């Protein structure tokens, strides 16, 4: 699910567990990874929310989180960033991030 910076900030502030993929239309690796992220997200039945954010539409928010390269995945729990992964990932790696957050 694509999310705005306002909606994401609300989720983060609520203390929810959230995994966000930051991407852009012009980014080749992002175009390959986004469908994999969305597939894992669609199969997710946990209380972890998974969403994507276009950095071109949310430049200031992305910069405030230190997004310098994309694709980047940031993991939030209790209002804090607890993990950051930069670069292309496969479906198994994305599932691993989700599983770690569920079990962690």
Of the residues 8, 18, 19, 27, only one is catalytic, namely 27
- Which of 8, 18, 30, 70 is the catalytic position? 30
| Contact residues for 53 (Cβ-Cβ < 8 A; gap 6+) | 2, 3, 4, 5, 8, 20, 21, 22, 23, 61, 62
Q: Is 51 a catalytic residue?
A: no
Q: Is residue 27 among the annotated active site residues?
A: yes
Enumerate the active-site residues. Answer: 27, 30
């Amino acid at each position: 699910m694509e999310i705005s910076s306002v909606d994401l900030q609300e989720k983060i502030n609520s203390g929810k567990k959230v995994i966000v993929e930051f991407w852009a239309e012009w980014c080749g690796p992002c175009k390959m990874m986004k469908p994999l992220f969305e597939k894992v997200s669609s199969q997710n039945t946990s209380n972890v929310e998974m969403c994507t954010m276009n950095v071109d539409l949310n430049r200031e928010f992305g910069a405030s989180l230190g997004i310098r390269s994309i694709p980047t995945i940031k993991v939030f729990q209790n209002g804090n960033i607890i993990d950051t992964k930069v670069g292309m990932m496969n479906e198994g790696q994305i599932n691993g991030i989700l599983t770690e957050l569920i079990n962690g």
